[in-house]
A = this chain, B = another copy of it.
């Protein structure tokens, strides 16, 4: 069988390998043409896998002795040669896997994609692209870059737009994805030189469906399919939005459980609150791709549980299935 193969770095995330294994087994049961190479400590992996049911042909283990820790920096990718992250990246580089998924540290992973997977021709700076759940039912927004490159030039932003457009078409099935530029106002003249120049280039590029500037207040409003920005700004905007969402939900929970009367009334609204959190829950959109690397590379939240890892593995599988990297390459050649 012609398997789609994911090299899955199961070490280095916050919650250990159990949720990672749980998620992988679930997806393997659903996708019969998927093979997962678990990369990490073989003893622990075998112990975890032994208690689970799965098709043995769909599973491999690659033993590694080192771990890239959450506190590790960029250079540890060079230093820890037998780490699960490095070995998983090498599997992809050597053509033994089609994609990598990891829940490990972001900075070393981005560096590893640079050093080991290398970049697509013409791409100077790959973008780190998470998915933003939005108020509009079923609609997600892709945001990039959120931190792979703190500084970008206007051309990088155009490349982000081209790559994300190809991704959105291939994976999300959006016919003509709307692209916006993150800025402090809607007018063309707003922002720094970077934004004014990028606006002009985006507008001129006929392969893009550029709709203008978007303010960070509309990040989760589902106004567009893709928002491009430099990594510093994207990181600030994303974390500000996530943080406020979390603060607000914490505050609501506090207010609703303040006394027994409120607790009882809130209980009757459980379903309503579940609907809201399901919409905004990052777990169902936990994966972010390094777009511009020569192969498919997905990062799951460091604190991923089974649901989050499952979502990221599924995104990785869909990216392989839809041949994302080749479609991105073709879009860049135009």
Contacts and interface: CB of A to CB of B under 8 A. Distances in A.
Interface of A: 135, 147, 150-151, 182, 184, 191-192, 215-221, 232-233, 235-252, 255-256, 258, 261-262, 265-266, 268-269, 272-273, 275-276, 279-280
A184 B150 contact: yes
Nearest to A243: B217
Contacts of A268: 261, 265
Given A150-B191, A239-B217, A269-B262, A276 B255 contact: yes
Contact of A249 (B218, B247, B248, B279): B248
A90 to B, nearest CB: 28
B219 A243 contact: yes
6 contacts: A150-B184, A220-B244, A236-B236, A255-B276, A262-B269, A262-B272
Contacts of A266: 269, 272
Contact of A280 (B150, B182, B233, B248): B248
Contacts of A276: 248, 251-252, 255
Contacts of A191: 150, 232
Contact of A184 (B221, B235, B249, B279): B235
Quickly give the copy total for this chain. 2
B240 A244 contact: yes
Contacts of A215: 239, 243
Contact of A243 (B236, B241, B255, B280): B241
Contacts of A237: 216, 236-237, 240
Contacts of A279: 251
Given A215-B243, A252-B252, 17 more contacts: A184-B235, A184-B239, A216-B243, A217-B246, A219-B243, A219-B244, A220-B244, A232-B233, A236-B237, A236-B240, A237-B240, A245-B248, A248-B276, A251-B276, A251-B280, A262-B269, A265-B265
A241 B248 CA distance: 10
A106 B164 CA distance: 34
Contacts of A265: 265, 268-269
Contacts of A269: 256, 262, 265-266, 269
